[in-house]
Amino acid sequence: MPEGPEIRRTADRLAEAVVGERLVSAWFAFPELKKFETRLTGCVIESITPHGKALLTRFDNGWTLYSHNQLYGVWRITDAGQRPDTGRSLRVALETAHSAVLLYSASDVAMWRSDDLHAHPFLARLGPDVLDPALDETAVAGRLRDPRFAGRSLGGLLLDQGFLAGMGNYLRSEVLFAARLRPARRPRDLDARELAALARELLAVPRHSYATRGIAPAGGMRADYLTDTPDAFRFLVFGREGEPCPVCGTRIARREAGARRLYLCPRCQH
Protein backbone atom coordinates (compact mmCIF):
# COMPACT_ATOMS: atom_id res chain seq x y z
CA MET A 1 0.00 0.00 0.00
CA PRO A 2 1.37 3.46 -0.82
CA GLU A 3 2.43 5.39 2.26
CA GLY A 4 2.03 9.05 3.15
CA PRO A 5 4.82 10.45 0.94
CA GLU A 6 3.55 8.60 -2.15
CA ILE A 7 -0.05 9.69 -1.52
CA ARG A 8 1.02 13.32 -1.08
CA ARG A 9 3.02 13.29 -4.31
CA THR A 10 -0.01 11.83 -6.07
CA ALA A 11 -2.14 14.64 -4.66
CA ASP A 12 0.41 17.18 -5.88
CA ARG A 13 0.33 15.81 -9.43
CA LEU A 14 -3.45 15.61 -9.55
CA ALA A 15 -3.78 19.13 -8.18
CA GLU A 16 -1.36 20.49 -10.74
CA ALA A 17 -3.46 18.96 -13.51
CA VAL A 18 -6.98 19.99 -12.49
CA VAL A 19 -7.25 22.25 -9.42
CA GLY A 20 -8.88 25.55 -10.31
CA GLU A 21 -10.43 24.02 -13.42
CA ARG A 22 -14.15 23.56 -14.08
CA LEU A 23 -15.44 20.02 -14.58
CA VAL A 24 -16.76 19.24 -18.04
CA SER A 25 -17.89 15.81 -16.86
CA ALA A 26 -17.82 13.47 -13.89
CA TRP A 27 -18.31 9.71 -13.99
CA PHE A 28 -18.59 7.10 -11.25
CA ALA A 29 -18.72 3.33 -11.53
CA PHE A 30 -20.61 3.05 -8.24
CA PRO A 31 -24.44 3.17 -8.54
CA GLU A 32 -24.81 5.13 -5.30
CA LEU A 33 -22.59 7.90 -6.70
CA LYS A 34 -24.25 8.22 -10.11
CA LYS A 35 -26.41 11.10 -8.89
CA PHE A 36 -23.25 13.18 -8.41
CA GLU A 37 -22.32 13.05 -12.08
CA THR A 38 -24.72 15.88 -12.88
CA ARG A 39 -24.19 17.66 -9.54
CA LEU A 40 -20.45 17.97 -10.15
CA THR A 41 -20.51 18.88 -13.83
CA GLY A 42 -19.74 22.59 -14.08
CA CYS A 43 -18.18 22.73 -10.60
CA VAL A 44 -14.63 23.94 -9.98
CA ILE A 45 -12.16 21.61 -8.28
CA GLU A 46 -10.93 23.69 -5.33
CA SER A 47 -8.25 21.39 -3.91
CA ILE A 48 -6.89 17.86 -3.81
CA THR A 49 -5.23 17.11 -0.49
CA PRO A 50 -4.20 14.00 1.43
CA HIS A 51 -4.92 13.06 5.00
CA GLY A 52 -2.76 10.09 5.78
CA LYS A 53 -3.44 7.60 2.99
CA ALA A 54 -6.77 9.11 1.94
CA LEU A 55 -7.29 11.75 -0.75
CA LEU A 56 -9.87 14.54 -0.45
CA THR A 57 -11.00 16.25 -3.66
CA ARG A 58 -13.03 19.35 -2.80
CA PHE A 59 -15.49 21.02 -5.16
CA ASP A 60 -16.92 24.52 -4.99
CA ASN A 61 -20.48 23.23 -4.47
CA GLY A 62 -19.73 22.14 -0.89
CA TRP A 63 -19.04 18.46 -1.64
CA THR A 64 -15.81 16.47 -1.29
CA LEU A 65 -14.81 13.21 -2.93
CA TYR A 66 -13.18 10.88 -0.40
CA SER A 67 -11.02 8.11 -1.85
CA HIS A 68 -8.60 5.57 -0.40
CA ASN A 69 -6.39 3.59 -2.76
CA GLN A 70 -6.01 0.66 -0.32
CA LEU A 71 -3.83 -2.02 -1.94
CA TYR A 72 -4.76 -1.75 -5.58
CA GLY A 73 -6.12 1.70 -6.34
CA VAL A 74 -4.17 4.03 -8.61
CA TRP A 75 -4.76 7.49 -10.06
CA ARG A 76 -3.85 8.36 -13.65
CA ILE A 77 -3.70 11.72 -15.42
CA THR A 78 -4.46 12.00 -19.14
CA ASP A 79 -5.41 14.62 -21.67
CA ALA A 80 -9.12 15.34 -21.85
CA GLY A 81 -10.99 12.58 -23.66
CA GLN A 82 -8.15 10.08 -23.40
CA ARG A 83 -8.17 6.79 -21.51
CA PRO A 84 -5.06 4.65 -20.99
CA ASP A 85 -4.91 1.11 -22.32
CA THR A 86 -5.14 -0.88 -19.09
CA GLY A 87 -6.76 -3.97 -17.68
CA ARG A 88 -7.71 -2.09 -14.52
CA SER A 89 -11.31 -1.18 -13.73
CA LEU A 90 -12.12 2.51 -13.96
CA ARG A 91 -13.92 3.73 -10.80
CA VAL A 92 -13.90 7.55 -11.08
CA ALA A 93 -13.29 9.94 -13.97
CA LEU A 94 -13.14 13.71 -13.46
CA GLU A 95 -12.59 15.63 -16.67
CA THR A 96 -11.89 19.30 -17.38
CA ALA A 97 -11.47 20.99 -20.73
CA HIS A 98 -7.78 20.12 -20.71
CA SER A 99 -7.16 17.09 -18.49
CA ALA A 100 -8.74 14.04 -16.91
CA VAL A 101 -7.90 12.44 -13.57
CA LEU A 102 -8.89 8.79 -13.40
CA LEU A 103 -9.09 6.47 -10.41
CA TYR A 104 -8.69 2.75 -11.13
CA SER A 105 -9.26 -0.36 -9.03
CA ALA A 106 -10.18 1.40 -5.77
CA SER A 107 -13.31 0.41 -3.85
CA ASP A 108 -13.28 2.87 -0.92
CA VAL A 109 -14.84 5.92 -2.59
CA ALA A 110 -17.56 8.22 -1.26
CA MET A 111 -19.00 11.71 -1.57
CA TRP A 112 -19.35 13.76 1.63
CA ARG A 113 -20.53 17.23 2.44
CA SER A 114 -17.30 19.14 3.03
CA ASP A 115 -18.51 20.44 6.38
CA ASP A 116 -19.19 16.90 7.57
CA LEU A 117 -15.86 15.30 6.69
CA HIS A 118 -14.79 15.29 10.34
CA ALA A 119 -17.47 12.63 10.91
CA HIS A 120 -16.20 10.25 8.23
CA PRO A 121 -15.58 6.93 10.06
CA PHE A 122 -12.03 6.55 8.71
CA LEU A 123 -10.94 10.19 8.90
CA ALA A 124 -12.35 10.56 12.42
CA ARG A 125 -9.95 7.87 13.68
CA LEU A 126 -6.81 9.35 12.13
CA GLY A 127 -4.06 11.04 14.06
CA PRO A 128 -2.21 14.08 12.72
CA ASP A 129 -0.81 13.71 9.22
CA VAL A 130 2.90 12.99 9.56
CA LEU A 131 3.57 15.30 6.59
CA ASP A 132 1.50 18.21 7.88
CA PRO A 133 3.93 21.17 7.96
CA ALA A 134 2.25 22.39 11.15
CA LEU A 135 3.16 19.19 13.02
CA ASP A 136 6.34 19.62 15.08
CA GLU A 137 8.59 17.48 17.27
CA THR A 138 6.98 18.74 20.47
CA ALA A 139 3.55 17.57 19.33
CA VAL A 140 4.91 14.18 18.23
CA ALA A 141 6.71 13.72 21.56
CA GLY A 142 3.46 14.54 23.31
CA ARG A 143 1.67 11.81 21.42
CA LEU A 144 4.43 9.34 22.30
CA ARG A 145 3.86 10.16 26.00
CA ASP A 146 0.06 9.96 25.64
CA PRO A 147 -1.30 7.02 27.72
CA ARG A 148 -3.13 5.75 24.61
CA PHE A 149 0.21 5.10 22.91
CA ALA A 150 2.97 5.08 25.55
CA GLY A 151 2.58 1.42 26.54
CA ARG A 152 2.57 -0.05 23.05
CA SER A 153 5.52 -1.58 21.23
CA LEU A 154 6.94 0.70 18.57
CA GLY A 155 6.66 -2.02 15.95
CA GLY A 156 2.88 -1.91 16.19
CA LEU A 157 2.43 1.73 17.13
CA LEU A 158 4.17 3.09 14.06
CA LEU A 159 1.63 1.38 11.80
CA ASP A 160 -1.36 2.74 13.73
CA GLN A 161 -2.94 5.52 11.68
CA GLY A 162 -4.57 6.80 14.86
CA PHE A 163 -1.11 7.65 16.15
CA LEU A 164 0.31 9.37 13.07
CA ALA A 165 -1.51 9.19 9.76
CA GLY A 166 0.55 8.39 6.70
CA MET A 167 3.08 6.11 8.37
CA GLY A 168 3.56 2.67 6.83
CA ASN A 169 5.80 -0.33 6.55
CA TYR A 170 8.93 1.03 4.88
CA LEU A 171 8.74 4.24 6.92
CA ARG A 172 8.48 2.21 10.13
CA SER A 173 11.71 0.32 9.45
CA GLU A 174 13.58 3.43 8.36
CA VAL A 175 12.39 5.58 11.28
CA LEU A 176 13.35 2.97 13.86
CA PHE A 177 16.76 2.54 12.26
CA ALA A 178 17.35 6.30 12.15
CA ALA A 179 16.36 6.57 15.83
CA ARG A 180 18.45 3.46 16.68
CA LEU A 181 15.53 1.76 18.43
CA ARG A 182 14.27 -1.82 18.41
CA PRO A 183 10.61 -2.42 17.49
CA ALA A 184 9.88 -4.10 20.84
CA ARG A 185 10.64 -0.92 22.77
CA ARG A 186 7.76 1.15 24.17
CA PRO A 187 7.59 4.94 24.34
CA ARG A 188 7.16 4.94 28.12
CA ASP A 189 10.45 3.04 28.52
CA LEU A 190 12.52 5.46 26.44
CA ASP A 191 14.78 8.00 28.10
CA ALA A 192 14.54 11.67 27.16
CA ARG A 193 17.26 11.41 24.51
CA GLU A 194 15.68 8.37 22.86
CA LEU A 195 12.20 9.87 22.88
CA ALA A 196 13.49 13.11 21.35
CA ALA A 197 15.34 11.15 18.65
CA LEU A 198 12.23 9.15 17.79
CA ALA A 199 10.05 12.27 17.62
CA ARG A 200 12.62 13.91 15.34
CA GLU A 201 12.91 10.95 12.97
CA LEU A 202 9.14 10.41 12.81
CA LEU A 203 9.03 13.76 11.03
CA ALA A 204 12.40 13.80 9.25
CA VAL A 205 12.22 10.42 7.50
CA PRO A 206 8.74 10.80 5.93
CA ARG A 207 9.49 14.38 4.91
CA HIS A 208 12.78 13.41 3.30
CA SER A 209 11.01 10.59 1.46
CA TYR A 210 8.31 12.98 0.24
CA ALA A 211 10.86 15.52 -0.93
CA THR A 212 13.19 13.18 -2.84
CA ARG A 213 11.85 9.64 -3.33
CA GLY A 214 10.30 8.69 -6.64
CA ILE A 215 12.63 10.66 -8.93
CA ALA A 216 13.53 8.42 -11.86
CA PRO A 217 17.27 7.62 -11.82
CA ALA A 218 19.62 7.05 -14.72
CA GLY A 219 19.73 3.42 -15.79
CA GLY A 220 16.03 2.71 -15.48
CA MET A 221 15.92 1.51 -11.87
CA ARG A 222 12.52 1.55 -10.19
CA ALA A 223 11.66 5.13 -9.38
CA ASP A 224 10.06 4.21 -6.05
CA TYR A 225 13.29 2.79 -4.69
CA LEU A 226 16.13 4.99 -5.91
CA THR A 227 16.75 8.48 -7.15
CA ASP A 228 19.67 10.06 -8.91
CA THR A 229 20.22 13.01 -6.55
CA PRO A 230 23.08 12.89 -4.01
CA ASP A 231 20.84 13.62 -1.04
CA ALA A 232 17.99 11.37 -2.20
CA PHE A 233 15.99 9.10 0.07
CA ARG A 234 17.27 5.53 -0.08
CA PHE A 235 16.30 2.50 1.95
CA LEU A 236 19.02 1.94 4.54
CA VAL A 237 17.45 -1.21 6.01
CA PHE A 238 14.04 -1.86 4.41
CA GLY A 239 14.20 -4.77 1.97
CA ARG A 240 17.94 -5.25 2.62
CA GLU A 241 17.94 -8.49 4.61
CA GLY A 242 21.44 -9.98 4.73
CA GLU A 243 23.13 -6.87 3.39
CA PRO A 244 25.62 -4.94 5.53
CA CYS A 245 24.34 -2.16 7.77
CA PRO A 246 25.50 1.17 6.29
CA VAL A 247 26.68 2.24 9.75
CA CYS A 248 28.38 -0.79 11.35
CA GLY A 249 28.47 -3.50 8.68
CA THR A 250 26.35 -6.00 10.62
CA ARG A 251 23.96 -7.94 8.40
CA ILE A 252 20.47 -6.46 8.24
CA ALA A 253 17.86 -8.78 9.79
CA ARG A 254 14.21 -9.27 8.92
CA ARG A 255 11.52 -9.68 11.55
CA GLU A 256 7.74 -9.89 11.59
CA ALA A 257 6.00 -7.16 13.59
CA GLY A 258 2.32 -6.40 13.39
CA ALA A 259 1.99 -9.15 10.73
CA ARG A 260 4.24 -7.09 8.46
CA ARG A 261 7.91 -7.44 7.56
CA LEU A 262 10.31 -5.18 9.41
CA TYR A 263 14.04 -4.72 8.88
CA LEU A 264 16.64 -3.66 11.43
CA CYS A 265 20.28 -3.68 12.36
CA PRO A 266 20.74 -6.02 15.36
CA ARG A 267 23.79 -4.05 16.49
CA CYS A 268 22.85 -0.39 15.94
CA GLN A 269 19.30 -0.60 17.28
CA HIS A 270 18.77 -1.04 21.00
Q: How many domains does the chain have?
A: 2
Note the pLDDT of residue 72.
87
Beta strands in the chain (DSSP E): 25-28, 45-51, 54-59, 63-68, 74-79, 90-95, 99-104, 108-113, 253-257, 260-264
Instruction: Examine the domain organization and report whether 142 and 118 are in the same domain.
Output: no
Same domain, 247 and 194: yes
User: Is 128 known to be catalytic?
Assistant: no
CATH code (residue 189): 1.10.8.50
Whether 243 is catalytic: no
The catalytic residue among 3, 6, 95, 201 is: 3
Query: Model pTM?
Result: 0.87
Annotation marks residue 260 as catalytic = yes
Residues contacting 251, CB < 8 A, separation 6+: 241, 242, 243, 244, 245, 266
46 noted as active-site residue: no
In the set 53, 58, 76, 207, the catalytic residue is: 53
Asked if residue 176 and residue 114 are part of one domain, the reply reads no
CA distance 181 to 173: 10
Same structural domain, 61 and 169: no
Per-residue pLDDT at 79: 96
- Show the CA angle centred on residue 148, arms to residues 144 and 150, nearest 5°: 40
Residues in the chain: 270
Out of 260, 261, 266, 267, pick the active-site residue: 260
Please say which residue of 125, 146, 179 terminates a domain. 125
Domain that holds residue 45: 4-125
Do residue 80 and residue 105 come from a single domain? yes
> Taking 60 as the threshold, does the pLDDT of residue 216 lie above it?
no
Query: Mind listing the pLDDT tens digit for each residue in 24-47?
Result: 999 999 999 999 999 999 999 999
